[in-house]
Amino acid sequence: MTPSAPVLYESKGSPNARRVRIFIAEKGIDIPMKPVDLGAKEQFSDSYRAINPRSQVPALALANGPVITEVLAIWRYLEEAYPQIPLLGTTAESKALVTMWERRAELDGFAPVMEGVRNAVAGLKGRALSGPHAYDQIPELVERSKQRVANFYSDFNARLDTVRFVAGDEFSAADITTLVTVDFATNALKMPIPEEHRAFRRWYDEVSARPSATA
């Protein structure tokens, strides 16, 4: 850590914060982290709203003042500031493929899990979407979310039957989002990777054994 190092506001209960923690661990960089207690609604406190008015984690506070929120924006900053061990691609082609497959993992996997959880958990009543605004739950969305997750597993199994990692030959941010999605679905929706999806399970066994997976 250097005196100019940024500070990451995060929570162990946040899948999005975990995506950033894994990214940091893969790069081998030392960034101080400050926990935000989501269970105690600390994200809605005046002190945290002063850091991130959207009441979400993660948030990366830079030493010179600005605060960067949103996982992809934080990743981009870290990739540029700490270019060792690139995770967003190194060539025009690989950068495009990482972006494409990470986006698919987020839209087709991560987002449906989040939708299912936030519309099902009683403790999230009135908080069906994270952020500064209140939204009612729509229980009917839960089953659709589960179907979307099942389709995500099938689609990514087909992809991983042809490549070692999600975006190709190298581990990347696309693998991070996919790993967090699988663990999130397994724990929150009781939907692990189906046994018949052997390619996906092969990938999961390899990626979840990386030291960064415990971040």
Helix (H) or strand (E) holding 143: helix 141-160
- Nearest 10 degrees: Cα torsion 27, 149, 209, 158: -100
Q: What is the pLDDT of residues 63-73, one digit of tens each?
A: 988 999 999 99
Asked whether 153 and 146 are in contact (CB, 8 A), the reply is no
State the pLDDT confidence band at 1, using cuts at 50, 70 and 90.
Answer: very low
Structural domains for the chain: 7-81 (3.40.30.10), 92-214 (1.20.1050.10)
Asked whether 208 and 178 are in contact (CB, 8 A), the reply is no
Pure H helices in 30-91? 46-49, 71-81
Q: Are strands 33-35 and 59-61 parallel, antiparallel or unpaired?
A: unpaired
Cα–Cα distance, 203 to 212 (Å, whole number): 15
- Nearest 10 degrees: Cα torsion 76, 77, 79, 83: 150
- pTM as predicted: 0.95
Q: What is the pLDDT of residues 3-32, one digit of tens each?
A: 468 999 999 999 999 999 999 999 999 999
